[in-house]
Chains A and B, each alone.
Chain A
């Protein structure tokens, strides 16, 4: 910086002006479909625009679990084959061989869904079964069946027990109780919560479900590892609860005669849905899994109405919220199987080619619409009706104006010189504009709600303080010093400012990292953004401006403080 150069040509000042102009553009101009629009880009929160919010907890746990695969086979097949004397012959990494005293077929064993099997008779009665399966899979299946919930394998390292995501509320104790009969237990670590993928999947499914039925854009924000916050603008809280927490009603019915159908089961008995896949390399289909109750219901209905004998006359039809989404007859093979045993795993075939694939994708969504990947429960909610939000907005604006006035009065009483007061207030004001500009950038999208506005006012408070530090440091002794002294004083002022700003930033960090509250997170984020803008953009420019303006006055005489 040289003395000849006027302050308004200084790069720091130019940079501030540029950023302010950019911010004004970010606030007022939007671009879509090749055209520019003028209008406010500020996004207001529910407490200013009106609407309801729901915070939901995703119930689940991530646990490392060990168990004896042989015991699981004995337990499960003991029940399925009604044989308490199952003998395990051999357990390897990818297969298990056991002997049952019952006569059974490969088809029956396969229908249990434990993997492909080899079945041979044993001399002297009974059957030897070799299952292509693994310990991880068996534990997963055991947990799924006993918890009646979806269980996903996350990691399986050889040598260490596998880690699962259990999509249901469980505790270490409840898991240990379930695992006791198969010599299993939870091996810490155990964590309440779900994986990031599950959180995202739930978020996506909720969005798919809610956005079509809402007039305004619904936003869903993940908070921490286990929570989703749903903002429903313009919706009352009773309505919000109904929309978000009631699953769609999915139903499977069976054709009795002509148009007459009978209820078989509801969507809550579908425990798993696969991705669309080509069955036998030709037709597309979606696999889904029923729980025991559902499998029994289907079997009973199929037998009762004769679908097992004449599948073609007794279609199975699927309804979502009472409208038909899919119907097809039982496959002949399934019809035969189901007669002897309840079938839990089946595939709905939708046809060949692109059309079949498209239909399979839709059906997959429908099958799932009844249930989110995990159970959720409401942990918090609230409603601010639009007229009240409007009133809040007005009051906040008034608060801003009064604050500006009072701060101006204090600053004016202290400094009495327009060429200090005006740059000071202008710098603070430019900070507000930059914060709002950054908040309205499309890829940042910080919304303005009561908490963030409180944050902005707080930031402006600290901002003015820092300008006061600069001013007083520069004016120490009452004179505008020569440039060299000025430089060292500015440096001193900035040591104080950097220190003060860093304490504010670190003090706010725990709100972002340790609290599952979006309001507080917004408050902390905007405060940190504001402090950084002030420290790195606005205050350096102010230091230059104040020097430029005061040099002019000093030429005329001394700077007087009294």
Chain B
């Protein structure tokens, strides 16, 4: 079995026009941005904020009761919300901020109630602190993106290729963030970490592509094809590791309990990398080929019958 079908990639590189290469990612970016805008109007933030950024208390525990039953039972505590957490009896209850004596009482009540008191997990965030974290997270993401862009500009020192990389990275992040909205994953410390990771990491394939195309001699189509084979292998190994993380942490497989921070990081990176394949090998390739064509003004690709270095 082949990991990557070279013939298909060759055909893709040869036959896809610039317009075709740009239209799909453009639609995707537009879609991502509309989802983010829609969520912004619905909740006041482009991605729905989780407990860590809103403040409040979350308790994760085993109970044979249904979420509705639990909701009635704990209705005296502020803002109670109950959801199924992962397979089996695991439930999550979330509350708005409350004072610490009430919190202690609540935790004790849950522990005495749970069918498995040894596995009651609690998380609590003060309102003020979580609001300040919110601001810090936004700042961290913006600064991280700017840092990344600066590094890219320093590396290439030419406007168009650098912009192409930065646009691709932006589209990756927008898509990953939009997908968290679609799949009901709230913004957590894990998703913030993953978004920053994505900023630094999703440009790897773009850097590979840009360096190969700009700094290597040879036929543009062959260079693109070779870069694409390397890049797709890279993305696939990363996806393989991330899928392993997701399987074990998502709570979808009943013998595994959900681990939020791992799940959040893996989901964001998986969607980010899926977007990255599209953005690197369509957006970035498209822009770069147009740029190279424009600067060299000789590349008239009508037919390329000669193939160097035929592989055995």
Chain A contacts to B: CB under 8 angstroms: 55, 57, 237-238, 241, 245, 377-388, 391-392, 395-396, 398-400, 402-403, 405-407, 409-411, 413-414, 450-451, 453-455, 457-458, 460-462, 464-465, 468-469, 472-473, 476-478, 492, 495-496, 499-500, 502-511, 514-517, 519-520, 523-524, 527, 558, 560-562
Q: How many angstroms from the CA of A523 to the CA of B4 in the assembled complex?
A: 33
Asked whether A496 lies within 8 Å of B211 as measured between CB atoms, the reply is yes
Apart from A380-B126, A461-B241, 6 more pairs, CB < 8 Å: A379-B125, A381-B124, A402-B247, A458-B197, A464-B241, A511-B192
Asked whether B151 lies within 8 Å of A407 as measured between CB atoms, the reply is no
11 pairs from A and B in contact (CB 8 Å cutoff): A238-B107, A377-B126, A382-B124, A384-B121, A386-B118, A398-B256, A399-B245, A399-B262, A410-B3, A492-B211, A503-B207
Contacts of A496 in B (CB 8 A): 207-208, 211-212
B residues 95-137 near A (Cβ < 8 Å) are 100, 103-104, 107-108, 118-126, 128-130, 132-133, 136-137
B144 at the interface (CB under 8 A from A): yes
- Given the known A-B contacts A451-B261, A454-B193, A506-B147, are A464 and B238 also in contact in the complex, defined by CB atoms under 8 Å? yes
Q: A478's contact among B100, B147, B192, B309, by CB below 8 Å, is which?
A: B309
Smallest Cβ distance from A539 to chain B, in angstroms? 14
Smallest Cβ distance from B114 to chain A, in angstroms? 11
Q: How many angstroms from the CA of A381 to the CA of B121 in the assembled complex?
A: 11
A-B residue pairs, 6 tightest by C-beta: A507-B200, A379-B129, A504-B200, A406-B240, A403-B244, A402-B244
Smallest Cβ distance from B169 to chain A, in angstroms? 9
Q: How many angstroms from the CA of A451 to the CA of B193 in the assembled complex?
A: 9
Asked whether A517 lies within 8 Å of B133 as measured between CB atoms, the reply is yes
Interface centre among B151, B192, B216, B230 (most CB of A within 10 A): B230
Asked whether B249 lies within 8 Å of A380 as measured between CB atoms, the reply is no
Smallest Cβ distance from B140 to chain A, in angstroms? 4
Q: How many angstroms from the CA of A524 to the CA of B196 in the assembled complex?
A: 9
Contacts of A468 in B (CB 8 A): 230, 233-234, 237
B243 at the interface (CB under 8 A from A): yes
Q: How many angstroms from the CA of A8 to the CA of B125 in the assembled complex?
A: 53
Q: B118's contact among A385, A392, A472, A558, by CB below 8 Å, is which?
A: A385
Q: How many angstroms from the CA of A315 to the CA of B212 in the assembled complex?
A: 87
- Given the known A-B contacts A379-B129, A398-B248, A406-B243, are A511 and B196 also in contact in the complex, defined by CB atoms under 8 Å? yes
B176 at the interface (CB under 8 A from A): no
* Per-residue A-contact encoding for B158-174, CB less than 8 Å = 1, 0 else: 00000000000000000
Asked whether B136 lies within 8 Å of A410 as measured between CB atoms, the reply is no
Q: B196's contact among A399, A406, A510, by CB below 8 Å, is which?
A: A510
Contacts of A407 in B (CB 8 A): 237, 240-241
Chain B contacts to A: CB under 8 angstroms: 1-4, 6, 100, 103-104, 107-108, 118-126, 128-130, 132-133, 136-137, 139-141, 143-145, 147-148, 150-152, 155, 189-190, 192-193, 196-197, 199-201, 203-204, 207-208, 211-212, 215-216, 226, 229-230, 233-234, 236-238, 240-245, 247-249, 256-257, 259, 261-262, 265-266, 269, 309, 311-312
Contacts of B133 in A (CB 8 A): 515-517
- Interface residue SS majority, chain B: helix
- Interface residue SS majority, chain A: helix
- Given the known A-B contacts A384-B121, A454-B245, are A241 and B147 also in contact in the complex, defined by CB atoms under 8 Å? no
Q: How many angstroms from the CA of A409 to the CA of B239 in the assembled complex?
A: 12
Asked whether B199 lies within 8 Å of A492 as measured between CB atoms, the reply is no
Asked whether A505 lies within 8 Å of B200 as measured between CB atoms, the reply is yes
Contacts of B132 in A (CB 8 A): 516
Asked whether A403 lies within 8 Å of B238 as measured between CB atoms, the reply is no
Smallest Cβ distance from A408 to chain B, in angstroms? 9
- Given the known A-B contacts A387-B118, A413-B2, A496-B207, are A461 and B140 also in contact in the complex, defined by CB atoms under 8 Å? no
Q: B311's contact among A469, A472, A562, by CB below 8 Å, is which?
A: A562
Q: How many angstroms from the CA of A394 to the CA of B14 in the assembled complex?
A: 48
Contacts of A403 in B (CB 8 A): 240-241, 244-245
Asked whether A388 lies within 8 Å of B104 as measured between CB atoms, the reply is no
Q: How many angstroms from the CA of A377 to the CA of B125 in the assembled complex?
A: 12
Contacts of B269 in A (CB 8 A): 458
CB-CB nearest in chain B for A502: B151
Q: How many angstroms from the CA of A451 to the CA of B192 in the assembled complex?
A: 12
Asked whether A450 lies within 8 Å of B259 as measured between CB atoms, the reply is yes
CB-CB nearest in chain B for A380: B125
Q: A503's contact among B1, B152, B234, by CB below 8 Å, is which?
A: B152
CB-CB nearest in chain A for B216: A492
Asked whether A379 lies within 8 Å of B196 as measured between CB atoms, the reply is no
Q: How many angstroms from the CA of A499 to the CA of B154 in the assembled complex?
A: 10
Q: How many angstroms from the CA of A382 to the CA of B58 in the assembled complex?
A: 9
Q: B257's contact among A391, A454, A465, A515, by CB below 8 Å, is which?
A: A391
Interface centre among A381, A398, A405, A409 (most CB of B within 10 A): A381
Q: B233's contact among A241, A377, A410, A500, by CB below 8 Å, is which?
A: A410
Smallest Cβ distance from B213 to chain A, in angstroms? 12
Contacts of B201 in A (CB 8 A): 458, 461-462, 503-504, 507
Q: How many angstroms from the CA of A15 to the CA of B34 in the assembled complex?
A: 52
CB-CB nearest in chain B for A519: B189
Contacts of A398 in B (CB 8 A): 248, 256
Asked whether B233 lies within 8 Å of A399 as measured between CB atoms, the reply is no
